[in-house]
């Protein structure tokens, strides 16, 4: 270990990114993989929009010039989009844009907890980046559990953790609405608890799947200056390759995030892509009802299976577990067998998270799962050859 590197960094392992599907894995390059492990939209940008974007690059973007570091145009456009579902309009002063919402999560941690000022609270299983990013900054992570039946947060444990926390106290609570990997939206009880939290605690509500869930707390932001909503262009807007996320919050919190971020965090091409996606949002979001309907069909088809427990979903992915007596290694085998057959899924928290893909991908997910379960979920993986 190089002696100038912080000792706590030695304890961490680097995040293993998405393997990159067919092209990223030489052993599987002959098979077109169904990449159902990262919850993207199954459809690429339509080619006429890609052509428009290419034209923008060719005609309007000067590669030798720095990007718009104030994000004026894109923040205005995002505010207009957010306002579509609000009674009281927000402005660009309520919006900060990040290189993916991951960047905003890190900025929020820096703004609140760095330097021993605070720790964070998460309810597992949930999105792993909150804990991963906190640890890289030396910020303690307090975890509570969820109901095994419906994945509701253990609110008694969460409240107790907040009351007992000191040195440093809990400064931020992270929730996902709907949660990943378990696909459940916040319940009335959970929302009531979040509303009851004191002003010294920042509540981060990650709405990465807003366009699929069609439910948001953005309308309550005006009453809660200690709340921030995070959203992303990586899922419903089909721009995961471009890395754009945004925060919606009180202007003072936005001003803090603006101080923390790198000045040119969003490339010009990425800003152009986000602008284009917003301009054509009607067209891009038109597939959402279809994805929701396909999700429900997938859930219904799998729900009857005696070896599976499948939960309802408010997002574009489903979560399932094997029922007793199957153990976690049976699930590992199942995930490996699915991969060997060409379906990538996420094995997480004792279950499988499967993205709703195209109609063909969903049909393959279903038939591969059913076939493998018939053969016994604990069967050894099919060798790749
Ligand atoms: C996918 C996802 C994001 C998006 O992250 P980006 O950095 O914007 O790509 C954020 N939060 C959750 C819970 C997600 O599942």
**Do residue 39 and residue 68 come from a single domain?**
no
**Do residue 68 and residue 13 come from a single domain?**
no
Written as six digits, the tokens of 197 are 């939290």
308 lies in a domain?
A: yes
**Do residue 304 and residue 255 come from a single domain?**
no
- Our answer on whether the CB atom of 102 is closer than 6 Å to any ligand 1 atom is yes
Chosen domain end from 244, 265, 283? 283
50 lies in a domain?
A: no
- Our answer on whether the CB atom of 122 is closer than 6 Å to any ligand 1 atom is no
- Our answer on whether the CB atom of 299 is closer than 6 Å to any ligand 1 atom is no
Residue with the nearest Cα to atom 10 of ligand 1? 208
pLDDT at 21: 45
pLDDT at 385: 39
Residue 322 sits in a domain whose CATH number is 3.90.1150.10
**Do residue 250 and residue 310 come from a single domain?**
no
Q: How far is the CA of 101 from the centre of ligand 1 (A)?
A: 6
**Do residue 268 and residue 345 come from a single domain?**
no
Chosen domain end from 239, 262, 283? 283
pLDDT top residue among 62 and 30: 62
Residue with the nearest Cα to atom 12 of ligand 1? 208
Residue 364, number of CB atoms within 10 A of its CB: 18
pLDDT digits (tens, 9 = 90+) for 127-168: 999 999 999 999 999 999 999 999 999 999 999 999 999 899
pLDDT at 86: 94
Mean pLDDT confidence for 214-228 = 97
**Do residue 19 and residue 82 come from a single domain?**
no
**Do residue 101 and residue 175 come from a single domain?**
yes
Q: How far is the CA of 234 from the centre of ligand 1 (A)?
A: 7
Residue with the nearest Cα to atom 1 of ligand 1? 208
- Distance of alpha carbon 143 from alpha carbon 131, whole angstroms: 9
Provide, for the chain, the percentages of residues in helix, strand and coil under a 3-state DSSP scheme, each rounded to the nearest 5: 45, 15, 40
pLDDT at 381: 61
pLDDT digits (tens, 9 = 90+) for 140-151: 999 999 999 999
Whether the pLDDT of residue 304 is over 50: the answer is yes
Residue with tokens 């106290």: 169
Pocket test for ligand 1, best of 234, 314, 355 (most atoms within 8 A of CB): 234
Whether the pLDDT of residue 368 is over 70: the answer is yes
Chosen domain end from 257, 283, 309? 283
pLDDT band at 49 (very low <50, low <70, confident <90, very high): very high
**Do residue 222 and residue 350 come from a single domain?**
no
Whether the pLDDT of residue 384 is over 50: the answer is no
**Do residue 153 and residue 35 come from a single domain?**
no
pLDDT band at 31 (very low <50, low <70, confident <90, very high): low
Residue 205 sits in a domain whose CATH number is 3.40.640.10
pLDDT band at 32 (very low <50, low <70, confident <90, very high): confident
Mean pLDDT confidence for 92-120 = 98
Q: How far is the CA of 324 from the centre of ligand 1 (A)?
A: 32
- Distance of alpha carbon 165 from alpha carbon 177, whole angstroms: 25
Q: What is the 3-state secondary structure (H, E, C) of 72-101?
A: HHHHHHHHHHHHCCCCCCCCHHHEEEECCH
Atom of ligand 1 nearest to the CA of 240: 9
Query: 3-state class of 381 per DSSP?
Result: coil
DSSP-H helix ranges across the chain: 7-10, 21-24, 47-59, 72-83, 101-112, 129-136, 155-164, 188-196, 210-213, 251-260, 268-279, 281-285, 288-303, 328-341, 359-374
The rounded radius of gyration (Å) of the Cα atoms in the chain is: 21
pLDDT at 333: 94
Atom of ligand 1 nearest to the CA of 38: 1
The whole domain housing 125 covers 61-283
Query: 3-state class of 57 per DSSP?
Result: helix
**Do residue 175 and residue 266 come from a single domain?**
yes
- Distance of alpha carbon 319 from alpha carbon 39, whole angstroms: 12
Whether the pLDDT of residue 22 is over 70: the answer is no
pLDDT digits (tens, 9 = 90+) for 272-283: 999 999 999 999
**Do residue 163 and residue 82 come from a single domain?**
yes
User: What is the number of structural domains in the chain?
Assistant: 2
Written as six digits, the tokens of 383 are 């060798």
- Our answer on whether the CB atom of 176 is closer than 6 Å to any ligand 1 atom is yes
Residue with the nearest Cα to atom 7 of ligand 1? 100
- Our answer on whether the CB atom of 180 is closer than 6 Å to any ligand 1 atom is yes
- Our answer on whether the CB atom of 98 is closer than 6 Å to any ligand 1 atom is no
């Amino acid at each position: 270990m190089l002696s100038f590197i912080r000792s706590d960094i030695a304890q961490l392992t680097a995040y293993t990114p998405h393997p990159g599907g067919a092209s990223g894995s030489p052993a599987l390059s002959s098979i077109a993989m169904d990449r159902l492990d990262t919850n993207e939209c199954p459809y690429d940008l339509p080619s006429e929009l890609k052509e428009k974007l290419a034209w923008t690059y060719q005609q309007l973007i000067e590669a030798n010039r720095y990007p718009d570091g104030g994000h004026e145009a894109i923040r205005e456009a995002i505010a207009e989009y957010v306002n579509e579902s609000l009674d009281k309009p927000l402005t660009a002063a309520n919006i900060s844009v990040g290189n993916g919402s991951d960047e905003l999560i890190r900025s929020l941690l820096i703004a609140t907890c760095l330097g021993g000022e605070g720790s964070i609270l998460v309810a597992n299983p949930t999105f792993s980046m909150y804990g991963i990013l906190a640890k890289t900054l030396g910020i303690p992570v307090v975890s509570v559990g969820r109901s095994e039946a419906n994945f509701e947060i253990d609110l008694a444990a969460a409240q107790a953790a907040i009351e007992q926390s000191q040195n440093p106290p809990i400064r931020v609570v992270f929730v996902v609405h709907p949660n990943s990997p378990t696909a459940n939206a916040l319940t009335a009880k959970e929302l009531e608890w979040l509303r009851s939290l004191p002003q010294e605690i920042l509540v981060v509500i990650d709405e990465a799947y807003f366009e699929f869930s069609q439910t948001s707390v953005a309308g309550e932001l005006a009453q809660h200056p200690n709340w921030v909503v995070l959203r992303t262009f990586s899922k419903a807007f089909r721009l995961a390759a471009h890395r754009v996320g945004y925060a919606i919050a009180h202007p003072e919190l936005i001003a803090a995030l603006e101080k923390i971020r790198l000045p040119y965090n969003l490339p010009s091409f990425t800003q152009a892509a986000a602008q284009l996606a917003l301009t054509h949002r009607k067209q891009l979001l038109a597939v959402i009802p279809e994805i929701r309907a396909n999700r429900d069909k997938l859930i219904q088809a799998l729900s009857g299976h005696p070896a599976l427990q499948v939960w309802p979903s408010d997002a574009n992915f489903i979560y399932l577990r094997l029922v007793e007596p199957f153990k976690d290694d049976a699930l590992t085998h199942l995930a490996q067998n699915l991969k060997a057959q060409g379906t990538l899924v996420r094995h997480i928290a004792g279950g499988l998270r499967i993205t709703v893909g195209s109609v063909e991908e969903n049909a393959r997910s279903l038939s591969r799962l059913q076939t493998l379960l018939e053969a016994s979920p604990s069967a050894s993986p099919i060798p790749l050859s």
